[in-house]
Structure 1
Amino acid sequence: MFSRTVPPMSRASFERIVPVVSLVVLALIIGQSVVQSVSAWLSGAEAKHIVPVFEAPIASAGKALGAALTSWMPAWSIPTPFGPLDVKHTASYTIYEWFKLPIILFLTTYGMTLLRLSISTRWIERSIGRNDLLGASGGALLGIFTPVCSCTVTNIYAGIVAGGASQRASSAFLFASPALNEFAILFMFVIVGPFGGLVYVLAGFAAALATAYLAPVLGLDPARFVQQVVSPHLCGTIARESILVRAHREAWALFKRLFGVVLFSGLLAGILVNFNLTLVESLKQAGAAWWGPLIATVLGLPLDINAASTAPILVALHQIVPIGTLVAAMMATTVSSIPEWAMLNRLIGKAGAIKVVLWYATYVALLGLLLNWLFA
Structure 2
Amino acid sequence: MRRMSVCTRLEGVLPLLSLIVLLAIIGQVVMQSVITWATGNELSQIVPVFEAPIANAGKALGALLTAWMPRWIIATPFGPLDIKYTVAYTIYEWFKLPIILFLTTFGMMLLRLGVSTVWLERTLGRNDVIGILGGTLLGMVTPVCSCTVTNIYAGLAAGGASRRASAAFLFASPALNEFAIIFMFVIVGPLGGGVYVVAGVIAAIITGYLAPVLGLDPHRFLQPILRSPFHDSLDRSNILIRAHQEAWALFKRLIGIVLFSGLLAGILVNFNLTLVEALKQAGSVWWGPILATVFGLPLDINAASTAPTLVALHQIVPLGTLVSAMMATTVSSIPEWAMLNRLLGRAAASKVVLWYGLYVIGLGLLLNWLFGYRMVMTAA
TM range (shorter): over 0.9
Q: Is the 8 A contact 2:100 2:148 kept in 1?
A: yes
1:146-157 equivalence runs, <5 A: 146-157=142-153
Distance, in Å, in 1 between the alignment partners of 2:220 and 2:227 is 10
Matched, 1:29 2:8: no
Match of 1:10 in 2: 6
Give the Å deviation of 1:9: 5.3
- 1-side partners of 2:236 and 2:285: how far apart? 66
Whole-angstrom distance in 1 between the partners of 2:17 and 2:5? 15
The one-letter amino acid of 2:282's match is A
For the residue of structure 2 that corresponds to 1:242, the secondary structure is helix
2:331 corresponding residue in structure 1: 335
Question: Aligned partners of 1:121 and 1:304: how far apart in 2?
Answer: 35
CA shift, 1:325, in A, is 1.1
What pairs up with 1:15-164 in 2 under 5 angstroms? 15-164=11-160
| Matching of residue 293 in structure 1 with residue 293 in structure 2 | no
What is the CA-CA distance between 1:119 and the residue it aligns to?
A: 1.1
Contact kept? 1:233, 1:253, Cα under 8 Å? no
CA contact (8 A) 1:219 1:352 kept: yes
Q: For residue 224 of structure 2, what is the aligned residue in structure 1?
A: 228
Unaligned runs of 5+ in 2: 373-380
Q: CA deviation at 1:241?
A: 5.4
CA drift at 1:45: 1.3
Shift of 1:239: 4.8
Q: What letter matches 1:96 in structure 2?
A: Y
TM-score w.r.t. structure 1 length?
A: 0.95
Whole-angstrom CA distance in 2 between matches of 1:238 and 1:161: 19
How many residues align? The count is: 369
For residues 280-319 of structure 1, the aligned pairs below 5 Å read 280-319=276-315
The aligned amino acid for 1:207 is: A
Aligned: 1:262 with 2:258: yes
Distance apart, 1:323 and its partner CA: 2.1
The residue type equivalent to 2:204 in the other structure is A
Give, in whole Å, the separation in 1 of the partners of 2:189 and 2:315: 16
Contact 2:105 2:154 in 1 (8 A): yes
Moved more, 295-304 or 237-246: 237-246
The separation in 2 between residues aligned to 1:153 and 1:240, in whole angstroms, is 30
**2:342 is equivalent to residue 346 of structure 1:** yes
Q: Tell me the alpha carbon deviations over residues 75-99 of structure 1, each in whole angstroms, 9 at most, x when there is no partner.
A: 0011111111100000000000000
3-state secondary structure, aligned to 1:74: coil
Deviation digits for residues 86-134 of structure 1 (CA, Å, limit 9, x no counterpart)? 0000000000000000000000000000011111100000000000000
Tell me how far apart the structure 2 counterparts of residues 265 and 309 of structure 1 sit (CA, whole Å).
18
Q: Secondary structure at the match of 2:76?
A: coil
- Equivalents in 2 of 1:244, 1:223: separation in Å? 22
**Matched position secondary structure for 1:305:** coil
20-29 or 237-246: bigger deviation: 237-246
Give the match's secondary structure for 1:71.
coil
Instruction: Give the match's secondary structure for 1:231.
Output: coil
1:298 Cα shift?
Answer: 0.4
